[in-house]
Every structure is written in C-alpha cells, then in structure tokens.
Amino acid sequence: MSEVVVTGIGVAAPNGVGAEEYWKAVVAGESGIRPISRFDTARYPIKLAGEVPEFDAEQDFTRRLMPQTDRLTRLALFAAEFALEDAEIVPEELPSYSMGVAVSSSTGGLEFGQRELQALWGTGWESVSAYMSFAWYYAVHTGQISIRYGMQGPSGVVVSEQAGGLDALGYARRRVRKGTAVMTAGGLDGLICPYGVAIQSSTGEVGTGTDPERAYLPFHLDSAGHAIGEGGAVLVLESREDAERRGAPRLYGTLAGYGAAFDPDPAGPGGDGLVRAARQALADAGRSAQDVDVVFADAAGTSALDRAEADALCTLFGERGVPVAAPKALTGRLLSGGGPLDVATALLAIRDGLVPAVAAAPPGRVDPRIDLVAGAPRSLEIGTALVLARGRGGFASALVLTGP
Amino acid sequence: MTRRAVITGIGVTAPGGVGREPFWELISSGTTATREITRFDASGHRCRVAAECDFDPLALGLTRQQVRRTDRVSQLAMVSALEAVLDSGLEIDGRLAERTGVAIGSAVGGTTTMESEYAVLSNSGADWLVDPAFAVPHLYDYFLPSSIAAEVALTTGALGPASVVSTGCTSGIDSVGYAAELIRDGDADVVITGATDAPISPITLTCFDVIKATSTRNDDPATACRPFDRTRNGLILGEGAAVLVLEEYEHARRRGARIYAEVAGYASRCNAFHMTGLKPDGREMADAIDAALVEARVAPDAVDYVNAHGSGTKQNDVHETAAVKRSLGEHAYRTPMSGIKAMVGHSLGAIGSIEIAACALAMQHGLVPPTANLHEPDPACDLDYVPLVARERRLDTVLTVGSGFGGFQSAMVLTGTGRAA
C-alpha cells in the first residue's frame, strides 16, 4: 500500500493565518483567544473565543461568492488555496478526476444560517436567501473547494465533532491509497455568532472566565473548561511516489497510521476509546508506543475528560512516558478544524525539531502524570508523532505521523 | 484474502408505514405517502406537501431519556438501527462490539430542533442577540450532526469507528460506501450504516422553496411528485431513515446469516460545476457509475435494475437519464429504472440508504418497485421507468444512483447472494 505524504499545509487559525504565521505564533506562545469581537457578549456566559483575525487577502475574495458563503467557507477556500500553493499544485494542469476534496465541518456556517433564520422567522420565507439551501450545510466547504479548483474525484465529508477532522484525513488517506492523486483534506469549523455561542454554552464545558490567559488550561488541576474557537487547516495529500515524481517542493511527513473508536463513557476513568484508537493507529503504522516521540493531545480542558486522557496516555506510555503538546490551548477548540490544525502543527514541529509549549503553570498545578510541554518550546528530534482527538458523545480518533 | 461487505440486516422508518415490511408493501404497491404537511403550519409556503413518518419512538423501543436528549433525526436512525440489528440476528458484544463501527449519513442533521430552539431564544426572530438563558441542556447535542452516530453507537453497543457522513443528498449512498470500505480495509467486521434526515421544518422547506425546487401541486398531495413525467414540477420533501447491518462476508457466512446482497461497488464524483445546478450531460454521474461497476467487476450490460434518484425536478430527471445512457449504452433501454421518491418523498441525506434498502428488498422479492405518478412520459426521458405497477424480474445486479447539492454524484452496485456464495 502506498505511503501517503503531506505536501502542502494551509492554516486559518485564531493566532495566525498561513502556516508560517501560525507556526511563528505557536512557537512564541502567542494565544489567539481574546474577548469576542463579533457581537456584544454582555448577556452571554461565554466572553472569550479564538476568532480568526481579518486578513488582507480577504479584501480580494471573489466578489461573486461573497453573498453565497459564510466566512467559515471563505476561510476554508483560503486554507485550500494556501495548501495548494504550498504544494505547488496547479489544479488546472491535472486531470479533474484525479483530485478530490474532504474538508470536515460540524456546520457550514451558522452565522449565515442565523441571519437567514432571522429572515424567515422575523419577516417570512420569501425573504430568505436563495443560497441558504447550501450555504450552511456540512458539505459546503467541500463542494465549494471542488467547484473552485475543478476537483471532480471522490470527495466526502466525515463529521464526528472534534474527532471529525482526523477522520476526514483518514478518509482522504484511503482515497490516495486507492488511486486518487491529490486529496485536499482537513477541517474548518466554528460557531462564533450569537446563536452558536448560546448553543455551545449549553454544554457547561466551556470556560466562562474573562482572563484570556486562564481561558483554556488543559491538564491543569484547576481547569474550568475549554475556550471555543474557529478555523482549522487544509492539507494536500499525495502518494510518496507521485510527490517524488513531480518533484514536490516539500514533504512534511507521512500519515502513517489511523485508528478510530467509540467510547460510550468518554469522561469515565481509563480513556478506553483513546487507547483503542491509538493502538489501532500505531498498528496501522507498524509502530509501537516506544517509537512515539511526542503526543498532540486532545486536551479537553475539563477535569473528567483530561483525567481520562491522562489515564489513556499512562496506559499507552507509562507515567510521564512521552512529551505531551497541547497547542490548542492557544486557539481554543475548533471542532472539526482542531484535528487537522494539530496535524499541521505536528508536521511543523517535526520539520523544526521543536515541540510547542503552552503557558507555564505554577508548580504542582498540572496533572503530575503528564509531561506537558509548558513554558518554552522543547527541542526534540521527532521521528513519530501521535495526534489524538475526541468528539463530543464518545468519538475517539488517532493519527500517527512520521517524518519525511 | 479479499474482504467483502454484505447486507445482513435492514431497518427502515419511512413515510406510509414504520418498519421494513410496511415500507416494502408501500413501495411495491405504488402507493404514495405524500400528504399535506402536519408537522408545522406550512400555510403560506410555496409547497405545503411532504411525506411524513408517523412513528412513536417510545413504542419502538427508545427510552424517555433517549427521546429527550435527541432530535427526531437521531430517533429515526435509532429505531431503524434496532430493527436492522434484530433482523441480522447479531449479538453485538464482547470482541465483536469493538469490531463494530457506525457510519450514518445525514444532509441536515438536527436542523428541526435547532430551528425550534432558535425561535425560542430569538423571540421568533426578533433578536439577533439571542438569549442564552433559554438554551435547553441538550441544545449542542441537537445541533451536532455527529450526535446521530453517537446515539446509534450507544443504542446498538457498537464500540468501533463511528462517524456521520454528510454530502448533502448523496449522504445515504456515501455512508454505506464508507462503511463497506471500513469492512474491506479491515477497520471493522460489522458496520451499522445507513442514513437519516428529518427535514420537514420551516427552514428546510424554505431552502427548497426559495430556489423553486419544490412542487407546487398543493391541491393534489398524493400526486405532487411525478418523476420522469412530462408534467413534473418539482420535488416533495420526505423524512425517514434506513439502517443496514453491513458485515464482512466470511463473518456472515460462518454464522449462517441471511445475506440480502453484497455491496460490490461504489464510487463518488463531483461535478465541480455549481452548488445546486446540474449539467444536462450527466458526465460525472456516469463516471461514478462506471467506476462503481469496475469495482464490482460487473459489465454494464449485466445490470438488471437501476434505482433512480428520480427527484421529480425538471433538470434532475434529464440529467440522470443521460448519465445512465452514457454508462450502460444500448442496455439502458432494456433495463428497468424506477424511483421511489413519488411515494416516500425526498428525504435528502436519508433517501440514498432508503433506496439501497429498497434495492436489497427488491432483489429478495424478485420485484422491481414502480415509479408512481408516471402517467405522461416525457420525451426527454426515454428509458423504461416501470410506471405505476411493479414488475417481476430476477435481480442479480442492481445499480442505485444519487445526486446532491455541492455537485456530489454517487453510484453503488449491489450483487446477489448467488454470486456472494
């Protein structure tokens, strides 16, 4: 079975747009979590979020597509563009059926949706946009990317909340292994509009503080929930043979193994779903736990889920058996965008031999069983990285990355 | 050894009768279940007709807690999953539970509750800054499409890979295609798969109303949707779910399971043309059909029956007629091709799986379900659409196709147990 490599990375994250800008911010420990700017949060329990800042290229976005897209879809289109440029792939030059798209999302764009719901309920159905039929459903990013680049090959959308982005990459990896030359895959997600924030406040798992520096402290003993965020990443996947044959400018690494499992009790002790997903992914990659140099954790930020993940890491690697990175503490949880962004981060970490850090914690405040990389990035030659993700309700997914 | 995926259990919750057998009775008799909308007050809407399910989730085995925490879209999938697992005779526990996955398709997920809760939080659309104090505890779970897969996993005891597959109106073919791949690739031995949608709500009806995709035949609900008919004027929304137990062939054979059919070939393509428009030549759907036939190692002229997308819009029916001719050539004219949407409506992401269930049941019964409401053939649609009356025919190889917003085109080939054995 052919090896599937990543040849392009496109990022739209709260702390940086574009892979290099984002990576610079991550290495510097810069957080994108700030007071919500998009609407007045006075009556909302959630005050903070990782919003993707506006950037110059947005001004030049195709005017024709403006009225039919939520900003989230535009971010997905930009992330795809960045990734294809990074890979130096010119879609017009390739057979259309040899390219496919798999960009996961739990919402196509709820801000667009809320606006049209308001038109329907406030005014009447005749005032609803003709674009509503597709502008907010889960497959919209994938459909729009396929149209923009003439990608007519196998495409699909796999949704499993925060685990969905890894599942989309797993799906895309199957496509490349079965003959699709180029897959544009990842996830872009987020719910930062009044109704979206109200929806997320219903779980009780989102922090309600106002201090951005304390908004999301995974594995901390005094963690009080996660921060929400928007954005994600799109990757270009190819077979190693194809990438080498065409002289791809960059080989970031290999998607060496994938595994997924369902855990009916995700907050219970043991982290059984994560353990099974990780073991499958390692077996798929032909690796063992000893080979793993760093884990990019799901890092849920609520005490029960963090404890379950720490249990899982202890079962897999032993106590403090592996360095653990949690860069999503700098972006908030991005739903389907989170897994692909972690994969992008892990690939850049492999490239630069540097594990990104979360803010330093006072002594004794982090789960002592976890070797959480904090304070400053850690220099480390990384041959194999494990990325974990859990989706609300019991989804657990794992991806094993190896260096180029 | 090559792993193969076979259907060993079927559960259907569709309009006009709950359960697999009532569903088959309805579609094989050519009876339509489209009616005036009762799920909400649709007066004033362009289209006021839909195909609704009359089902009581409590009577069908769900608990009050399950009903409270889920949207109708999950409930339809959960009761169908219970029926499918029962039909398969599988006990999903122990090691098998870890080897059992879930892949459920849905186009619009929990939109219904999402909208009704929106109406509360926003004071019926008066406030942009909706009031979070009125958010119900399960609002996020209603909202998340992936809740469907989680609930099906919890209901059936599956512990393997689980997800929702969402590609608009091809979701129900793509989810089963993904499930078959999980089995063939060795990720699972059993996958609880299928699709569900419950889109009969003001916002989803509006989505199709504003682009004039819906039929306006409000005065005659029973004949509102007329696939391939010269007088067709649009689709009729439906709701429902079909869940299949997909099982690795050797696993099924060893336990002596009844095998409905093998999921032998599947492919999807994008038209990369328009989010809602279709090119009349059907080129991309034809490519999906060709690829699915190749994967199934079936020659185009071996196809015994084509289950059409047949949504009843002007452009769709011409588009897929062209696609099938492109792929099957002259054989297209000799092959019965019928669609069930006049009877059970277009349940968006769900319908692809409901149609796969229809195909498997048609193979079991040796009977092609008819295209209802087809009285006046359209010269632009010149294949054999099996109008009004079912037709007896031995079905060894069946093709089903779907087409969806986003430009998605999918095709699946089912082959009979004769070949699988």
pLDDT tens digits, one per residue of A225-234 = 999 999 999 9
Mutation to test the B interface, candidates A111, A157, A182, most B Cβ within 10 Å: A157
Residue A37 shares a structural domain with residue A103: yes
Domain spanning B5-254, CATH class: alpha beta
Is the CB of residue B133 less than 8 Å from the CB of residue B73?
A: no
Contact A155 B167 (CB under 8 A): yes
Hey, what are A377's tokens?
């990035």
Residue in chain B lying closest to A262 (CA): B159
What are the distances in angstroms from CA B326 to CA B28, B137, B253, B281, B319?
Answer: 28, 52, 37, 9, 11
CA distance B375 to chain A (A): 30
CA distance A139 to chain B (A): 5
Q: How far is CA B268 from the centre of its chain?
A: 15
Is the CB of residue B177 less than 8 Å from the CB of residue B195?
A: no
Is the CB of residue A233 less than 8 Å from the CB of residue A86?
A: no
Hey, what are B104's tokens?
């459920």
CA distance A23 to chain B (A): 30
CA distance B130 to chain A (A): 6
Tell me which residue range forms the domain holding A279: 258-402
**Which residues sit opposite A13 in a β-bridge?**
A16
Residues near A115 by beta carbon (within 8 Å), at least 6 away in sequence: none
Average pLDDT over residues A243-256: 98
Hey, what are A112's tokens?
């667009």
Average pLDDT, chain A: 96
Is the CB of residue A76 less than 8 Å from the CB of residue A11?
A: no
What are the distances in angstroms from CA A107 to CA A103, A125, A192, B108?
Answer: 11, 22, 11, 10
**What's A109's DSSP letter?**
-
Contact B159 A276 (CB under 8 A): yes
Beta strands in A83-230 (DSSP E): 99-104, 158-159, 182-189, 228-229
Give the span between the Cα atoms of A116 and B334, in whole angstroms: 47
Residue A199 shares a structural domain with residue A74: yes
> Helices A140-149 and A71-87 sit at what angle, rounded to 10 degrees?
50
Number of Cβ pairs closer than 8 Å across A and B?
259
Give the span between the Cα atoms of A154 and A174, in whole angstroms: 11
Contact A137 B135 (CB under 8 A): no
Give the span between the Cα atoms of A311 and A290, in whole angstroms: 17
What are the distances in angstroms from CA B320 to CA A404, B403, B418?
Answer: 44, 9, 29
Last residue of a domain, one of A245, A272, A300: A245
Average pLDDT over residues A347-362: 95
B418 burial class (0-12, 13-18, 19+ CB within 10 angstroms)?
A: exposed
Q: Is A137 a domain residue?
A: yes
B253 burial class (0-12, 13-18, 19+ CB within 10 angstroms)?
A: middle
Residue A50 shares a structural domain with residue A183: yes
Give the span between the Cα atoms of B145 and B107, in whole angstroms: 9
Mutation to test the A interface, candidates B48, B113, B207, most A Cβ within 10 Å: B207
Other C-beta atoms lying within 10 Å of the C-beta of residue A13: 34
Q: What is the pLDDT of residue B420?
A: 42
Residue A31 shares a structural domain with residue A155: yes
Confidence check: pLDDT of A46 > 60:
yes
B72 and chain A in contact, CB less than 8 A: no
Mutation to test the B interface, candidates A62, A132, A133, most B Cβ within 10 Å: A133
Give the span between the Cα atoms of A281 and A255, in whole angstroms: 10
Q: What is the pLDDT of residue B276?
A: 85
Residue A232 shares a structural domain with residue A379: no
Other C-beta atoms lying within 10 Å of the C-beta of residue A88: 14
Residue A238 shares a structural domain with residue A380: no
Contact A134 B145 (CB under 8 A): no
Residue in chain A lying closest to B213 (CA): A133
CA angle B16, B394, B391 (to 5 degrees): 50
Average pLDDT over residues A314-342: 98
Q: How far is CA B105 from the centre of its chain?
A: 8
Give the span between the Cα atoms of B99 and A324, in whole angstroms: 29
DSSP H helical segments within B144-275, as ranges?
147-156, 171-184, 202-210, 249-254
Q: What is the pLDDT of residue A2?
A: 87
Domain spanning B264-420, CATH class: alpha beta
Residue A60 shares a structural domain with residue A26: yes
> To which residue do tokens 């009044």 refer?
A194
CA distance B377 to chain A (A): 30
Last residue of a domain, one of A245, A279, A300: A245
Contacts of A39 in chain B (CB under 8 A): 128-129
**Which residues sit opposite A257 in a β-bridge?**
A400
Contact A395 B163 (CB under 8 A): yes
Give the span between the Cα atoms of B146 and A393, in whole angstroms: 8
Confidence check: pLDDT of A10 > 60:
yes
Domain ranges of chain B: 5-254, 264-420
C-alpha torsion angle, residues B224, B230, B235, B236 (rounded to 10) = 10
Contact A125 B160 (CB under 8 A): no
Phi, psi torsion values for A200, nearest 5 degrees: -70, -25
Contact A122 B284 (CB under 8 A): no
**Residue among B94, B228, B89 at smallest CA distance from B159:** B94
**Tally of domains in chain A:** 2
Confidence check: pLDDT of A258 > 80:
yes
ipTM of the complex: 0.97
**pTM score, whole prediction:** 0.97
Last residue of a domain, one of A223, A245, A267: A245
Contacts of A95 in chain B (CB under 8 A): none
Confidence check: pLDDT of A362 > 90:
no
Q: Is A312 a domain residue?
A: yes
Q: What is the pLDDT of residue B421?
A: 38
Mutation to test the A interface, candidates B206, B276, B348, most A Cβ within 10 Å: B206
Q: Is A160 a domain residue?
A: yes
Residue A286 shares a structural domain with residue A194: no
> Helices B202-210 and A110-122 sit at what angle, rounded to 10 degrees?
90
User: Which of B 245-284 lie inside 8 A of A, CB atoms?
Assistant: 267-276, 284
Confidence check: pLDDT of A303 > 60:
yes
Contacts of B158 in chain A (CB under 8 A): 262
Region at A57 (left for phi over 0; alpha for psi -120 to 50; beta for the rest): alpha
Q: Is A253 a domain residue?
A: no
Phi, psi torsion values for B248, nearest 5 degrees: -65, 135
Residue A43 shares a structural domain with residue A74: yes
Q: Is A250 a domain residue?
A: no
Sign of the C-alpha dihedral, residues A258, A259, A260, A263?
A: negative
Residue A61 shares a structural domain with residue A151: yes
Residue A132 shares a structural domain with residue A211: yes
Residue A182 shares a structural domain with residue A271: no
Contact A126 B210 (CB under 8 A): yes
pLDDT higher for A351 or B280? A351
The H or E element spanning position A118 is helix A110-122
Q: What is the pLDDT of residue A174?
A: 97
Beta strands in A228-308 (DSSP E): 228-229, 231-239, 253-262, 294-296
pLDDT along chain B (421 residues), means of 10: 94 96 98 98 96 96 96 98 98 97 96 96 97 94 96 98 95 98 98 98 96 96 98 98 98 97 97 86 95 97 98 95 98 98 98 98 98 97 98 98 92 81 38
A223 band by pLDDT with thresholds 50, 70 and 90 = confident
Q: Residue A196: which CATH number? A: 3.40.47.10
User: Which of B 108-167 lie inside 8 A of A, CB atoms?
Assistant: 108-109, 114-115, 118-119, 121-122, 124-126, 128-133, 135-141, 143-147, 149-151, 153-154, 158-167
B197 and chain A in contact, CB less than 8 A: no
Hey, what are B328's tokens?
């099957």
CA angle B251, B257, B262 (to 5 degrees): 70
